[in-house]
């Protein structure tokens, strides 16, 4: 399995269906979105670093466009046909019944489909992906994802004002996760 492209995902969860236009308007208003670059992709805008906080000292963040997408930019796929489960290669669910950890959960079905049911090898409990415990913000479902690409695990987090603006515009709480993309 390839590790894929790293991204910071902002998500309102699988059960909510935010209006992509409202989400895009929030990002534009706060200055996160810069010039359109490719379909559904934008360079970062002048307000980006006011709302995305890079942790650690003096991170070297690359904002210059590259054809292989390995630079920091914003990808807005819009409303997906169905909710999608995003995850990081190190994401491990814990059984909600017995707390056993599943290392090989990706072999139990489509890891991008939130309806995929996992069965616990320790106790036999079976439940869809979202019913398991995912620690460390390494997995989340989304119907209308905001993907800030080329952000590695733990490298950056969204600011409170950005999350509050998304919540206000869509009526649902938004949360960050560090994931990888195909």
**In whole angstroms, what is the distance from residue 62 CA to residue 105 CA?**
33
Q: How far is the CB of 89 from Zn ion (least distance, A)?
A: 22
Range 96-115, binding Zn ion (CB under 5 A): 97-98, 100
Does position 131 interact with Zn ion (CB under 5 A)? The reply is: no
User: Does 144 help bind Zn ion (rule: CB under 5 A)?
Assistant: no
Please work out the total of residues on this chain that contact Zn ion, with binding judged by CB under 5 A. Answer: 8
Using an 8 Å Cβ cutoff, are 93 and 134 in contact? yes
Is 122 a binding residue for Zn ion by CB under 5 A? The answer is: yes
Least Å distance, CB 112 to Zn ion, is 23
Helix (H) or strand (E) segment spanning residue 170: helix 160-170
Residue 161's CB: how many other CB atoms inside 10 A? 11
Neighbours of 70 (CB within 10 A): 12
| In the complex, minimum distance from the CB of residue 120 to Zn ion, in angstroms, rounded to a whole number | 3
d(CA 77, CA 143): 10
Residue 181 C-beta: closest distance to Zn ion, Å? 30
CA 154/CA 96 separation, integer angstroms? 25
Closest to Zn ion by CB, 112 or 131: 131
What is the x/- site pattern for Zn ion, positions 63-102, by CB under 5 A?
--------------------------------x-xx-x--
Here the tokens at position 62 are 């690359």
Residue 123 engages Zn ion in binding (rule: CB under 5 A): yes
**Coil, strand or helix: which one is 182?**
coil
Residues that bind Zn ion (CB under 5 A): 95, 97-98, 100, 120, 122-123, 125
């Amino acid at each position: 399995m390839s590790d894929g492209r790293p991204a910071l995902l902002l998500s309102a969860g699988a059960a909510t269906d935010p209006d992509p236009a409202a989400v895009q308007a929030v990002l534009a208003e706060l200055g996160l979105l810069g010039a359109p670059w490719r379909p559904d992709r934008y360079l970062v805008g002048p307000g980006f670093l006011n709302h995305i906080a890079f942790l650690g000292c003096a991170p070297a963040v690359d904002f210059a466009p590259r054809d292989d997408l390995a630079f920091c930019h914003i990808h807005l796929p819009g409303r997906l046909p169905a909710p999608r489960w995003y995850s990081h290669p190190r994401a491990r669910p814990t059984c909600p019944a017995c707390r056993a950890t599943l290392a090989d959960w990706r072999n139990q079905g489509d890891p991008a489909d939130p309806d995929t049911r996992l069965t616990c090898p320790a106790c036999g409990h079976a439940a869809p992906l979202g019913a398991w415990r995912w620690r460390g913000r390494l997995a989340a479902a989304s119907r209308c994802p905001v993907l800030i690409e080329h952000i590695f695990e733990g490298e950056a987090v969204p600011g409170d004002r950005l999350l509050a603006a998304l919540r206000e515009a869509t009526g649902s709480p938004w949360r960050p996760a560090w994931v990888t993309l195909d």
